[in-house]
Structure 1
Amino acid sequence: MDLGIAGRRAIVCAASKGLGRASATSLARAGVDVLIVARGAAALEETAEAIRRDTGGTVSTLAADVTTTEGRAAILAARPDPDILVNNAGGP
């Protein structure tokens, strides 16, 4: 199914596992340039590599905490004009 979103730019928060990872994978598969964000850098890099391998898509990473002011500033500095935001935040 063509969603008409190829070439768009997305931010997916809490993307190293679960709903965030699934969302990022689906977006990458649809041709979206995806920035995945999570607190744990190692898990984030593993996730990005898996998504790239599975989809052939463009996936960037940023280790940041979306629940903090500093984290949100870093995310917007890395991707200032996103077309798509998946505002997911993992639990404690």
Structure 2
Amino acid sequence: MDLGIAGRNAIVCASSKGLGFASANALAREGVNVVLNGRDETTLAAARDRILKEHSVRVMTVTGDITQPATQQALLAACPEPDILVNNNGGP
């Protein structure tokens, strides 16, 4: 499916696995550059590597808790003008 969003930039929170990863991977399949976010650096790196292996897009990672201002600032530094935001955070 071509959604006409190739070349856009997305921030996907909580994207190292599960629904967040599936969202980031689907966006990458459409040609969207993605910034992945999660709290565990190892699983985040594995998610990045998998997307890079399957798709020709830019993929960056920001490790940290999205509820913390430093992580929020790092995400915006990595992607100053996001076209797409997937806020996939949950739980306490």
Is the 2:5–2:32 contact (alpha carbons within 8 Å) kept by the matching residues of 1? yes
Paired residues for 1:74-89 under 5 Å:
74-89=74-89
**Counterpart Cα distance in 2 of 1:90 and 1:39:** 13
* Alpha-carbon shift at residue 62 of structure 1 (Å): 1.1
The code of the aligned residue for 1:42 comes to T
More displaced, 2-11 or 75-84?
75-84
**Counterpart Cα distance in 2 of 1:9 and 1:36:** 11
Q: Which runs of 5+ in 2 are unaligned?
A: none
| Identical residues among aligned pairs (%) | 53
Aligned length: 92
Aligned counterpart, 2:45: 45
Is the 2:38–2:44 contact (alpha carbons within 8 Å) kept by the matching residues of 1? yes
The code of the aligned residue for 1:72 comes to Q
* Alpha-carbon shift at residue 30 of structure 1 (Å): 0.3
Is the 1:64–1:75 contact (alpha carbons within 8 Å) kept by the matching residues of 2? no
More displaced, 68-77 or 27-36?
68-77
The code of the aligned residue for 1:49 comes to D
Aligned counterpart, 1:15: 15
Partner secondary structure for residue 71 of structure 1: helix
Q: Which runs of 5+ in 1 are unaligned?
A: none
Say whether 1:32 aligns with 2:48.
no
- TM-score, normalised on structure 1? 0.92
